[in-house]
């Protein structure tokens, strides 16, 4: 992102926005080819970002989150996406965004690499 973000929730919501914006043309193409699409699931490990996206959390400061991220709420209301929270430990993509000691990387290898058993 080009902007400096004020909170982890804003960063997560921004990531949701960019991922969903990338998915819209794919969904549209599939629908135009005659393949109706159910809501695409979007997982976040930030409960506040999920709450803002689903309008279950009310923001105190309206300028805290960039207005373009409200696009996410509109797409959820249109039933194109389903944003929900899942704890970070269950999110395999979250591993690459954190710094871990070498021994943790060794323990995580089986989750990300296919070991050829010969």
**Has residue 97 been placed in a domain?**
no
Which range of residues forms the domain containing residue 68?
Answer: 8-91
C-alpha atoms less than 13 angstroms from C-alpha of 108 in its C-beta half-sphere: 17
**Has residue 52 been placed in a domain?**
yes
Distances (CA, A) of 6 to 10, 13, 72, 110, 117: 7, 12, 18, 35, 47
pLDDT tens-digit readout, 87-112: 877 777 777 777 889 998 888 888 88
Number of folded domains that form the chain: 1
**Has residue 23 been placed in a domain?**
yes
**Has residue 47 been placed in a domain?**
yes
**Has residue 114 been placed in a domain?**
no
C-alpha atoms less than 13 angstroms from C-alpha of 90 in its C-beta half-sphere: 8
pTM: 0.73
pLDDT tens-digit readout, 54-63: 989 877 665 5
């Amino acid at each position: 992102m080009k902007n400096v973000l004020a909170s982890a929730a804003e960063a997560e919501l921004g990531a949701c926005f960019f991922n969903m914006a990338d998915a819209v043309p794919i969904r549209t193409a599939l629908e135009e080819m005659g393949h109706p699409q159910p809501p695409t699931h979007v997982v976040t490990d930030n409960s506040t970002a999920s709450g803002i996206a689903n309008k279950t959390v009310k923001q105190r400061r309206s300028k805290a989150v960039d207005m373009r991220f409200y696009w996410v709420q509109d797409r959820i209301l249109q039933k194109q996406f389903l944003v929900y929270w899942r704890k970070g430990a269950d999110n395999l993509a979250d591993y690459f965004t954190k710094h871990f000691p070498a021994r943790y990387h060794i323990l995580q290898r089986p989750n990300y690499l296919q070991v050829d058993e010969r």
